[in-house]
Structure 1
Amino acid sequence: MIFYFAIPLTLLLYWLTRQLYRFKPWPFINPVLLPMFVIMAVIVLSGSALQDYQAGAHPIHLLLEPAVVALAIPLYQQIGQIRARLKPILLGCSLSVLISVGLTLITCSLVPTAPEIVSSIATRSITTPLAMSVSSSLGGVAAIAAAIVVLVGILGAVIGFPLLRLFRVTDPQAQGLAIGACSHAVGTAAAAERGTTQGAFSSLAMVVCGVLTAILAPVLFALYHWISQHL
């Protein structure tokens, strides 16, 4: 039954969440977070299969790739600003990747963790397809990597801008880079709602960090395993 209601339910929940956010602009009123919990509850309480919902909502899923490509529009609009700040952008994204993957490896070395779990969560800050691919190449579980990425994206979209305000990061370019580097596509969607500049720089950080993670993560993992064997 949920097959036939998948698209109407998804669109209705998205619209209701957007309306609620306009009335009460609280960070946790997120068009991904709240509909996700409601849909999960509907699937469980109705005894439906997740596969039925996925099949019914497949047309929406097909729009995901064009939506991601459309993020290049604000990127193109800010191309002059990006060229002028290319070096600090690359430096910031590189540090973001090193910190993200490095902290994961350090934390997992302190707490006994299965190697496949380490590989699955180390790519948490890049977009889902890249995270699944990089994680699998490192011996991780793609499904776990995808779940962690979604959770991190939602968390960044919810608390990212409040944290930036708390630390008095007010420059829209810096805000966009921070959100895109940590919260990939979900965070970028939230950044785009804040402004064209935030959306453009978040898109840029998402792409650059994805590429850098694919390059640097295997090197960091090799170093991690070498150190583990010699200590």
Structure 2
Amino acid sequence: MMLWLAIPLTAALYLAVKKLARHYKSPLINTIMLPALLIIGVLVLTGQDSSAYQAGTKPLNLLLELAVVAFALPLYQQAAKIRQQLWPIVLCCSISVLISVGTTLLLGGILHAQPQLLASIATKSITTPLAMSVSATMGGIPAIAAGLVIIVGMMGAIIGFPVLKIAGVTHPEAQGLAMGASAHAIGTGAAAEVGPVQGAFASLAMVVCGIATALLAPPLFHLYLWLIG
């Protein structure tokens, strides 16, 4: 039954939460997190097999690939601004990756975490396919990497803009870069809902940080292994 109800259920929950979000401006009313939690609840309460739900939503997964490609549209619309600030943007995103991976390895060393676990955590701030691939090259567990990416993305979408507001970051381009660099595709989606400039710069940060992580994370991880002996 879940095979046939998967798409209607997913669409109904998404639209219901989206309508709710229009009336109540709360970061906790997230159109990704709440439907996901509700679907998990339905599967647990009804005892349905999650693989049936996954098979039923396969058409949506195919559309997801097109949706990711569609992030290129706001990039094209903001191309002039991006060209003017390209190198500062690349520098900021590279520093963001160094901070993300570096703090993960530092805390892991302090807590004496297993290298395999650290290799899975270090890629937490880039998109799922890249995170799984880069993590695997470092000896990590792709499934853990994918799960952490989703958690980080949801957290970024929920608390990202409130935290930026508290920190006094009001510039649209800076907001977009911060969301894309820290919360990848899910954060980029949240940024696009706030404004086209935020969405464009979040898309750019997501791409640049993905490339930078693929280039910087493995050598940093191997340096960490060498330092701890």
Instruction: Provide Cα deviations, 1:129-164, integer angstroms capped at 9, x if missing partner.
Output: 000000001001111000000000000000000000
Q: CA deviation at 1:214?
A: 0.2
Instruction: Provide Cα deviations, 1:66-88, integer angstroms capped at 9, x if missing partner.
Output: 00000000001101100101121
State the one-letter code of the partner of 2:161: F
2:228 aligned counterpart, secondary structure: helix
Matches of 1:104 and 1:15 in 2, distance apart?
A: 37
Matches of 2:114 and 2:105 in 1, distance apart?
A: 12
Percent of matched pairs sharing the same residue: 56
Match runs of 1:20-59 below 5 Å: 20-59=20-59
State the one-letter code of the partner of 1:67: A
Identify the residue that residue 132 of structure 1 maps to in structure 2: 132
Instruction: Provide Cα deviations, 1:4-28, integer angstroms capped at 9, x if missing partner.
Output: 1100000001000100000001001
Instruction: Provide Cα deviations, 1:39-96, integer angstroms capped at 9, x if missing partner.
Output: 0011111111110000011110110110000000000110110010112101110110
Q: CA deviation at 1:219?
A: 1.0
Matches of 2:199 and 2:108 in 1, distance apart?
A: 33
Which sections of structure 1, spanning at least 5 residues, go unmatched? none
Matches of 1:120 and 1:219 in 2, distance apart?
A: 15
Count of residues in correspondence between the two structures = 229
Q: CA deviation at 1:194?
A: 0.6
RMSD value, Cα: 0.6
Single out whichever of 112-121 and 77-86 deviates more from structure 2: 112-121
State the one-letter code of the partner of 2:36: M
Which sections of structure 2, spanning at least 5 residues, go unmatched? none
Runs of 4+ in structure 1 deviating by more than 4 angstroms, as ranges, are none
Matches of 1:218 and 1:22 in 2, distance apart?
A: 42
Q: Tell whether 2:151 aligns with 1:162.
A: no
State the one-letter code of the partner of 2:94: S
1:63 aligned counterpart, secondary structure: helix
Q: CA deviation at 1:114?
A: 1.7
Match runs of 1:1-231 below 5 Å: 1-229=1-229
State the one-letter code of the partner of 1:2: M
Q: CA deviation at 1:112?
A: 2.2
Matches of 1:136 and 1:219 in 2, distance apart?
A: 14
TM-score by length of 2: 0.99
Matches of 1:224 and 1:113 in 2, distance apart?
A: 12
Matches of 1:112 and 1:222 in 2, distance apart?
A: 16
TM-score by length of 1: 0.98
Matches of 2:93 and 2:117 in 1, distance apart?
A: 24
State the one-letter code of the partner of 1:134: V
Single out whichever of 124-133 and 110-119 deviates more from structure 2: 110-119
